[in-house]
Structure 1
Amino acid sequence: MQTTIASANPIHSARDRILDAAMELFATRGFQAVGLRDLASYLGLHAGSLYHHIDNKQALLFELIEFGLLDLLQETKRRMKNARSPCERLNLFIQAFVKFNFNEKHKLTLITSEFANLNKEQQTRIIQLKNRYSSLLSTVIAYERDEKETFNGDNCPLTNTAVIILFGQSQWYNPETTELQLTATLTNIFTCMIGNYSSN
């Protein structure tokens, strides 16, 4: 198995293979449980050779979480770009997350479970990205409520609650739930939340 991993897809660079393997191991075994020797062994490499491609294990985790959030942010913005109504923006926002939830499970696991293993500077950067992501939803909520002034992602209680539901559901939802079912469920929840919040 090690030989297969190390030699698979020669177009895929050595660093890319390290990133892919680290993401899988950190997500399935936990960051603290995986050492660089484990990662090197999984790839069929000597542990020392990893330092030609990475600074350290924590920097590797930060890079994976940062890339994961950037992927989610960019894909969400791309999907919402041509929306013609607040309702469509909300639907596309949810669809983008659900697609990420199903296609990028390891990235989502790292984002939701391994934040505490980053240093303060790294955490600050991740919080900035999370706020940028939350702000996309805050804008949708502001349009739904017909408000001229939008909230920032970090000071809108409704946005914070909605984002917690999005990321939290990945910890408990039924594995047999389909993409369409999860999209419909989240859309109904968000629509009711915004409607009730707007009426208060």
Structure 2
Amino acid sequence: MAGTDGRIRDPERKERILVEAAQLIARRGYLGVNLADIGSAAGIVGSGVYRHFDNKGAILVALFDRVVDRLIVDAEDSLRASDSPETTLAALVRGQVRFTISERALCQVYLQESRNLPDQDSRRLRWKMRHYVDLWQEALVSVREDLSPAQVQVLVHAAISTIHSALRYRNHLDEPDLAAFLEQVTCGMLGIEPLPSDTSTPADGPHEDTIAG
């Protein structure tokens, strides 16, 4: 597909660039990776990256957008599919847990590299992420009427941070056991029961090998 600037763009190649960039940046840090590294990992010359992205910063922004957009879509799907506030909140927990585990490198980039975003994109992404957190807070308010607004805010951020803690160290649990344990712990913090183990959520599916939104 040709862009408005005349460059020929291959969607599959663009996806490879993003996948490999996430892996490299998660391992080395944003400042430790250059476009030649990303191109080589994606099987193209470094200059070929410019067919899809103007610079390394644009790749980082695209990775952040993938994280936030995917979380918001999954959360909104959970809201539509759930039949009670409790199942909505439990589905939000499951979606965040499974996304974090299946997209480990992508989520590590999101947690570690916000300081390297351009200012304008950083503000825009913070606004989008606030919408996602608001969905959690609205669900929790419906379940926990005993909590003040300030307590709701603290508890939601603590719950999401608990899930993200799995990215900060290597544990000895396999992925299914880790997911189940994180769900149990996080739902316990929120004062709800986790979804049954055989209940799917919008975040379930073949996300292991792709970061496509």
After TM superposition, the score normalised by the length of structure 1 is 0.78
Matched, 1:163 2:166: no
The residue that corresponds to 1:117 in the other structure is: 116
In 2 relative to 1, CA 126–49 (structure 1 residues): closer, same or farther, beyond 3 Å? same
Matched, 1:182 2:182: yes
> Structure with the greater relative contact order (CA < 8 A, sep ≥ 6): 1 or 2?
2
Question: What is the rounded CA distance, in whole Å, between the counterparts of 1:35 and 1:101 in structure 2?
Answer: 25
Report how many residues are paired.
178
RMSD: 2.5
Name stretches of at least 5 consecutive residues in structure 1 with no aligned partner.
1-10, 193-200
Matched, 1:44 2:43: yes
Question: What is the rounded CA distance, in whole Å, between the counterparts of 1:78 and 1:165 in structure 2?
Answer: 23
Matched, 1:53 2:49: no
Moved over 4 A (4+): none
Question: What is the rounded CA distance, in whole Å, between the counterparts of 2:140 and 2:170 in structure 1?
Answer: 25
Question: What is the rounded CA distance, in whole Å, between the counterparts of 2:180 and 2:154 in structure 1?
Answer: 27
SS in 2 for 1:81: helix
Question: What is the rounded CA distance, in whole Å, between the counterparts of 2:41 and 2:79 in structure 1?
Answer: 39
Identity %: 22
Deviations 1:5-30 (A, max 9, x none): xxxxxx96221221121112112222
Query: What is the identity, as a one-letter code, of the residue corresponding to 2:183?
Result: T
SS in 1 for 2:83: coil
Question: What is the rounded CA distance, in whole Å, between the counterparts of 1:12 and 1:52 in structure 2?
Answer: 11
Contact 1:72 1:97 in 2 (8 A): yes
Contact 2:40 2:46 in 1 (8 A): yes
Name stretches of at least 5 consecutive residues in structure 2 with no aligned partner.
1-9, 193-213
